[in-house]
């Protein structure tokens, strides 16, 4: 493809992203799948520019408005990006928007005026508001400032960067050093991660689909922060474990591998199709201790039938996803699922229901990929107010028990990871242990201090 043809492809791709109610990465995959004639180098160039523009959505929009243009269309954003970020001059831009074969159409009068005003400027401007400069949408500013305090600026700036490519080794098939050697055979450079004893960080963005180490199940793609959440589950061989919101199965894989294929892991989700797609990942990893169980809702009758039968229950709750903005920049601006006001009661309901599965002495692990206090610490505190038989197990204690070989990534009771502090996605996890002794309610029932019918209703709720 010529440089001009690549620009038109970027415009077409951004238009599809704007018009399709799906995440940008899914839209990109479909776009290239339907255009197999686009070569690998061209695909990489087009995708990189599209993502770079998505990461600058607010700033480009601010400049386009500053220049007096009508609205930030895909063409306008591409033009502004070329001038402000790539520092192209107006003459070069006019040549690329030539209207020739496969090239973008010639500039309109309005676009020409915008180009004239933006030429010689850079992406920064002293009048640009901080929320625009750090790409924080209006709905998230208050919650993010409340959660991050004086670290709002530094964390938001780190979220502007592209996320690194992390891999998790499959301990059934490899260790970190043998996986590094296997990747090196495919000309892929990797090094061990700082926090996770199972992690590798890869240099660049090599295509992994055709690499033997990936095809043979030695490694899986998983952010280091997500790996640390799986380690916080601390499953043992022979345990009975539930991944209550398994999704695509990333943490399910990690947990099952930590159990050395012994015991049982039940991967649950309300989206049956996602569980079916995850089955291929389980097979590639050589794991046969996983079974999938679709749920109709968080209150599925299956939960009641399996009350207090599991050693570990992981709740990777649906959330705002603010911790993943490095890899999902479009998620800041496009609400493709429930908003925060719907997520908060849903998270509480899921946590309450999943808690019924935990046996005395077992653990409930609540996790999100959010950086918002309301979705994290506040949810745990509210849960503990109504579930007196659960206590917080501090992360440092879990790490000491597991002898992970790496220092605990945080101080304090919870696993709270941020991009600027840990160079991972933003994650939160709380380990909640159910007391082994009888709960206060059970003792009260034996002593005749409560109505058994009312207590039964409460337990079954």
Kindly report, residue by residue over 98-140, the tens digit of the pLDDT: 998 999 999 999 999 999 999 999 999 999 999 999 999 999 9
Query: Quick one: average pLDDT of 208-221?
Result: 92
Q: Is the pLDDT of residue 215 over 70?
A: yes
Nearest to residue 200, comparing CAs of 231, 217, 221, 216? 221
What three-state secondary structure class fits 64? helix
Q: Is 269 annotated as a binding residue?
A: yes
Sorted by where each starts, the structural domains of the chain and their CATH numbers stand as 3-128 (no CATH), 161-221 (3.30.70.1170), 224-443 (3.40.50.150)
132's CB contacts (< 8 A; 6+ apart) are 58, 59, 62
How many whole angstroms separate alpha carbon 367 and alpha carbon 401? 20
Whether 369 is a known active-site residue: answer yes
Q: CA gyration radius for the chain?
A: 25
* CB atoms near residue 283 (< 10 Å): 12
In sequence order, the β-bridge partners of residue 190 are 202
Residue range 50-68: mean pLDDT, rounded: 97
pLDDT in tens, 161-175: 999 999 999 999 999
Supply the pLDDT for residue 460: 43
Residue linked to tokens 């500053």? 66
- Among 29-33, 179-183, 206-210, 370-374, the minimum mean pLDDT is found in 206-210
Mean pLDDT of the chain: 91
H or E element at residue 253: helix 250-258
What pLDDT was estimated at residue 190?
96
**Residue 368's pLDDT band (boundaries 50, 70, 90)?**
very high
| Cα–Cα nearest to 425, from 289, 285, 316, 270 | 316
Residues 72, 61: Cα–Cα separation, whole Å: 6
DSSP conformational letter for 185: T
- Measured distance CA(181)–CA(179) in Å, rounded: 5
Q: Residue written as tokens 């770079």?
A: 52
Of the ranges 7-21, 37-51, 278-292, 411-425, which one carries the lowest mean pLDDT score?
278-292
CB 318 within 8 A of CB 337: yes
Global confidence as pTM: 0.90
CA separation, residue 324 to residues 9, 32, 419 (Å): 26, 23, 9
Is residue 451 predicted with pLDDT exceeding 60? no
Residue 316, annotated as binding a ligand: yes
* Active-site entry in 136, 245, 319, 369: 369
């Amino acid at each position: 493809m010529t440089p001009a043809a690549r620009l038109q492809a970027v415009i077409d791709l951004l238009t599809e992203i704007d018009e399709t109610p799906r995440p940008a990465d899914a839209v990109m995959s479909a776009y290239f799948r339907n255009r197999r004639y686009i070569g690998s180098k061209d695909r990489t160039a087009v995708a990189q520019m599209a993502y770079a523009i998505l990461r600058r959505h607010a700033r480009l929009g601010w400049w386009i408005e500053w220049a007096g243009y009508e609205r930030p269309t895909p063409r306008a954003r591409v033009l502004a990006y070329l001038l402000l970020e790539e520092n192209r001059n107006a003459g070069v831009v006019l040549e690329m928007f030539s209207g020739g074969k496969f090239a973008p159409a010639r500039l309109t009068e309005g676009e020409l005026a915008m180009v004239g005003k933006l030429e010689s400027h850079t992406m920064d401007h002293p009048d640009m508001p901080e929320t625009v400069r750090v790409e924080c949408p209006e709905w998230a500013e208050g919650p993010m400032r409340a959660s991050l305090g004086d670290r709002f600026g530094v964390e938001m700036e780190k979220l502007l960067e592209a996320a690194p490519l992390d891999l998790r080794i499959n301990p059934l098939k490899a260790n970190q050093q043998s996986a590094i050697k296997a990747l090196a055979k495919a000309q892929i450079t990797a090094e061990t991660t700082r926090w996770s004893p199972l992690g590798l960080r890869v240099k660049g963005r090599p295509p992994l689909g055709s690499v033997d180490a990936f095809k043979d199940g030695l490694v899986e793609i998983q952010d280091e922060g997500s790996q640390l959440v799986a380690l916080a589950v601390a499953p043992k061989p022979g345990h009975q474990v539930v991944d209550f919101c398994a999704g695509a199965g990333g943490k399910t894989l990690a947990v099952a591998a930590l159990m050395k294929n012994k015991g049982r892991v039940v991967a649950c989700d309300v989206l049956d199709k996602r569980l079916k797609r995850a089955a291929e990942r389980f097979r590639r990893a050589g794991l046969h201790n996983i079974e999938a169980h679709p749920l109709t809702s968080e209150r599925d009758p299956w939960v009641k039938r399996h009350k207090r039968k599991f050693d570990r229950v992981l709740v990777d709750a649906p959330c705002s996803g603010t911790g993943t903005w490095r890899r999902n920049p479009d998620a800041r601006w496009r609400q493709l699922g429930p908003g925060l006001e719907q997520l908060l009661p849903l998270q509480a309901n899921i946590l309450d229901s999943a808690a019924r599965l935990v046996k005395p002495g077992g653990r409930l692990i609540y996790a999100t990929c959010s950086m918002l206090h309301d979705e994290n610490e506040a949810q745990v505190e509210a849960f503990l107010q109504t579930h007196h038989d659960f206590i917080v197990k501090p992360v440092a204690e879990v790490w000491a028990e597991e002898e992970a070989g790496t220092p605990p990534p945080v101080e304090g009771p919870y696993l709270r990871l941020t991009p600027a502090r840990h160079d991972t996605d933003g994650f939160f996890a709380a380990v909640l242990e159910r007391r082994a002794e009888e709960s206060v309610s059970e003792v009260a029932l034996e002593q005749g201090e409560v109505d058994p019918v009312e207590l039964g209703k409460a337990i079954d709720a």
